Amino acid sequence: MKRLLASGIFLMFGITFAQPDFKLSMGLGGYLTSDFGGGVEVSEISQSVSAYYTYGFPYSGEGGFIFLDATFAELSLGFFVGSHYETIDFLGDDKENDLSYMGLDISLLGKYPITIKKKFLLYPLLGANYRIMLSVKNGYESQYKNNSGDSAPEDFSALWFRLGGGIDYPFTEHIFLRTQALYGIRLSNKFEDDTVHFYEKTEGASAKARIGHGLDIKLAIGYQF
C-alpha cells in the first residue's frame, strides 16, 4: 500500500528522479542584484559619551552575465552597475549619501536537475561567488575613499555564499530559457574590517561589522550541446 501511494504521488506531479544525463550548455542573460545589509555598528564612542552609531551600505543593481553549465555545476561571470545610499545614524541624526557601484561577479554553483513532466528541469543551487568592486563613487562622481584617504574600490569586494533554485524551460532541442533566484550572505569586506579596527583601536569604542545579505534574480537564454 505504501509503495502504491508513493508511486501515485510521483505520477501525479510527474517528477522523475532518474540520474540526469551529463550535458554541456552555455548562455547569456541579465540579472538583478542587491545587498540589504552591510556596514558597521559602533557604540561607546568614548568613556564620557555613550552613543550608538550605524554606517550602512544597502544597494541594488543590474547587469549581464555569461554561464557555462555541466549538468551538476554552473560557472558564470557577471558585470553589474548599481546604486545605493550610505546611511549614517549618529545620536538620532540620520543622513544619506548617494553612492554608485560597478563590479564583477565570479560564481560557481552546484546543482542537481530534476525532470518535471518530461519538460521542465527544476534544480536546487548551492555555492559561492566572489564580488569584485571595480569602482565605488559618491554623488560627486569622485572615487570613494577608505580610512587612509586612498581610492580603493577593491576594499568593498567580498565573498558571498548562495542558496536558491532554478528552472530550465526548453524551446527546442537545443535552446532553453533559464530562470534562477538566489539568496546570499557575505563575509565582511576590507572596508568594514578596517573601520571596525579604527574605532576599536583609535577611539576605544565597541564596533562590529553588520551582516551583508541579498537576493539575485537571473534570466538567461541557453544553448545545450
State which of 3-17, 47-61, 80-94, 114-128 shows the largest mean pLDDT.
114-128
Q: Is the pLDDT of residue 127 over 50?
A: yes
Buried b (16+ CB within 10 A) or exposed e, 132-141: ebeebbeeee
- Higher-confidence residue: 3 or 174? 174
Average pLDDT over residues 114-126: 89
Do 109 and 74 meet the contact criterion of CB atoms below 8 Å apart? yes
In tens, the pLDDT along 23-73 reads 999 999 999 999 998 888 887 666 555 567 787 888 899 999 999 999 999
At 196-216, the pLDDT tens digits run 888 888 767 788 999 999 999
pTM, rounded to two decimals: 0.84
Q: Which sequence spans correspond to the domains of the chain?
A: 20-224
Name the fold adopted by 20-224.
Answer: Porin (2.40.160)
